[in-house]
Structure 1
Amino acid sequence: MTWTFTEDIGAYADAVEAWLRRDPALNTVPLTVLDHSLRGPVADGAFFAWWTEDGEVGGAASRVPPYPLLLAKSPPHAIERLARDLAAQGRPLASVVGPGTLAQTFAAAWGQPEIGRVDERLYRLSAYARPDPQPSGEPRVAGAADLDLVVEWYRRFRRDAGVDDGRDPTPLVEDRLGHAELMIWQVRDRPVALAGASSPIEKMSRVAPVYTPEVHRGHGYGAAVALAVSRKALADGAEQVLLFADLAGPRSNMVYQAIGYRPVADFSRIRFGARHAVP
């Protein structure tokens, strides 16, 4: 029983991709990170790991700076061992994200003070329903001409969500525009909301972000564009469409359920203090 560590994204993909695809819903974020990492250069300091037990892969984790350590579905004893191995290697670590119980297991084994937590619920589209009332306007796929607007909305979304790392989102937005993954809701040709859905992986697509500028909130545009991009994902071949909602925001959770999303599992993002933290 052991963790294997590598900085080679190709070796990681060879080892874990088939295993991750066995449960594309619970592994939606690790699959998306893997897909994006294979598309282009990987950030300096990134590492990837997989857990082997009785000769079989049974867990996975990755860290692509500046994002948290990301846990895939794994046995609790493997997560405890991961914390010990990372501490022994002296790897800097400020936060962890993953299925709620696993993130908490890692935090307990890591042994550093918890200085913040975000609890989220993963939802899956069951049977979509139109927003009630249906807002005015219509959706369209975002294109290259929308780059500056979408980049600015990405920055605002990150600030509002408390995940702004100061990095320029332009390369990510360009990539997503190139893959037709973003949609805009517009009213009389005026953009009022944005939503994205990842290209299907193992017939799974995940909706993110969903953003409405403050001046346009309260009209149902966010729900409408989230539903529009969800339907596009289904048309593009997805059989499962997923999204995360912050449990601290009950209204957004109610809105997503109202348009047809149902709970799957809870996840947590935990931040640490003390000696292992990085700026």
Structure 2
Amino acid sequence: MSRHVDLHLRRRGIRRGRRALSARRPVRNTVPLTVLANLRAGMPVKDPHFGWWTSGGEVRGAVFHTPPHPVGLFAVPVEAVSPLIEALDGDLPELVGPVEVTSEAVRLLGEPSRVVSERLYRLERLTVPDVPGRGRLAVPGDFPLLVSWYHAFGAEVGMGEADVAEQVARRLSGRELFLWEDEGAPVSLAALSPACGGVCRIGPVYTPPSRRRRGYGAAVTAYAARTGLAEHCEQVVLFTDLANPTSNSVYRSIGYRPVCDYAHLTYAG
């Protein structure tokens, strides 16, 4: 049985990759499915890379890289990690994937300079928290606030991006951004991706430091999830940083349950 990693540097492989991922664990493949959907919709990305792990002539796994984000190993079997590293000449400065896959990468590449442990949650039964205020869809007039909150979120998690204004504008026009208001003022933000394979993903969720510990993050997350389920998705998922026990506890309290764990590894910088 021949096995190889087939690397594609052109977008013509997007349709093939999406077909391969849609039929296999749409919850676990929420990130690559969303990336492929965005590219098909025309979202500009500089030099995207795609690869497939084939076995017996069939696609068994997929890898992608859309700079400046890490190489995504969400749909890569453990046995494909070694040939992938070889195909890329060991050039994986940053990668993210399930812990069993990233553990194999660490075994082959050595210890990374930074590790962020994450957990994927799926909503089972929504419990709407009793929090003052109301949720609403973000509107163009919220643009300056949304951009500032996106920048603040990126600074907190160490993932600042140069195209924040463009990203916010795109998500605003796609009706993907939600706010929680209390006493008429926005106090928390949640974004909800379009459905891919029937799955919507929440993130980011951001509450300014002065507004925290009042339940606003849970409230806006529940509002976004309820809106998505009512309008266009069958399941709702989100990622959390395992180093933040507060957010993990909050999401469990409103009905999210663990699916699997991931690791974000950095070898450069």
TM-score range, shorter chain: over 0.9
Shift of 1:163: 1.3
Answer yes or no: is the 8 Å Cα contact 2:51–2:63 preserved in 1.
yes
Partner in structure 2 of residue 160 of structure 1:
156
Q: Deviations over 1:139-184 (max 9, x none)?
A: 000011111110110010111112124x131111111111111100
The aligned counterpart of 1:15 is 16
Q: Distance in 1 between matches of 2:5 and 2:92?
A: 17
Is the 1:51–1:58 Cα contact (8 Å) retained in structure 2? Answer: yes
Say whether residues 1:215 and 2:217 are aligned partners: no
Name which of structure 1's ranges 74-83 and 192-201 shifts more when overlaid on structure 2. Answer: 74-83
Letter in structure 1 aligned against 2:226? R
Inter-partner Cα distance in structure 2 for 1:27 and 1:108: 24
> What SS does the aligned partner of 2:53 have?
strand
1:154 aligns to what SS in structure 2?
helix
1:124 paired residue number:
122
- 1:126 partner amino acid: E
Q: Is contact 1:42-1:64 (8 Å) kept?
A: no
CA contact (8 A) 2:10 2:48 kept: no
Match of 1:54 in 2: 56
Give the Cα–Cα distance (whole angstroms) in 1 for the partners of residues 22 and 209 of structure 2.
37
CA distance in 2, matches of 1:14, 1:181: 24
Give the partner amino acid of 1:119.
Answer: S
How far apart are 1:73 and its partner, in Å? 2.1
Gaps of 5+ in 1: none
- Residue 250 of structure 1 aligns with which residue? 245
What is aligned with 1:143? 139
1:49-93 CA deviation, whole Å, 9 max, x = no partner? 1111111100111111111000132221112110111017xxx43
| SS of equivalent to 1:114 | coil
Write the letter of the residue equivalent to 1:16: G
- For the 8 Å contact 2:74–2:96, the answer to whether it is kept is no
Q: Paired residue for 1:197, among 192, 214, 223?
A: 192
CA RMSD of aligned residues (A): 1.4
Q: Counterparts in 2 of 1:2-151, with a 5 A limit?
A: 2-9=4-11, 11-22=12-23, 23-87=25-89, 92-109=91-108, 111-131=109-129, 134-151=130-147
* 1:232, distance to aligned residue in structure 2 (A): 0.8
Is contact 2:178–2:189 with CA below 8 Å preserved after alignment? yes
SS in 1 for 2:89: helix
TM-score (norm 1): 0.91
When the two structures are superposed, what TM-score results if normalisation uses the length of structure 2?
Answer: 0.95
Q: Among the aligned pairs, what percent are the same residue?
A: 37
Q: Which runs of 5+ in 2 are unaligned?
A: none
Cα 1:41–1:243, aligned 2, differ >3 Å: closer, same or farther?
Answer: closer
1:231 partner amino acid: R
Provide the residue aligned with 1:187 in structure 2.
182
Shift of 1:112: 4.5
Q: Is the Cα–Cα contact under 8 Å of residues 15 and 57 in structure 1 kept in the other structure?
A: no
Paired with 1:69 and 1:2, the residues of 2 have a C-alpha distance of 18
Q: What corresponds to 1:228 in structure 2?
A: 223
